[in-house]
Amino acid sequence: MKSFIIAVIFAAAAAYGASLVLDHYQRPVDVAFASSGVRL
């Protein structure tokens, strides 16, 4: 039971860390696909 709780805490921490990394690198669609010929 102790190892399961540690695994759940680790999975939650990994998911939170991944969300922080993706939030930093991903761009909103109006920024990512903006060019002179695109109107959103």
Say if residue 38's pLDDT is above 60. no
Residue 37 confidence class, pLDDT cut points 50, 70, 90 = low
Q: Look at 11 and 39; give whichever has higher pLDDT.
A: 11
Q: What is the C-alpha radius of gyration for the chain, rounded to an integer number of angstroms?
A: 18
CB 30 within 8 A of CB 40: yes
Tell me the pTM: 0.59
Taking the domains of the chain in order of start, what are their residue ranges? 2-32
DSSP string, 1-40: -HHHHHHHHHHHHHHHHHHHHHHHH---HHHHT--TT---
Per residue in 7-34, pLDDT tens?
999 999 999 999 999 888 777 776 666 6
- CA angle (22, 24, 28) in 5-degree steps: 85
What pLDDT is stored for residue 24 in this prediction?
Answer: 80
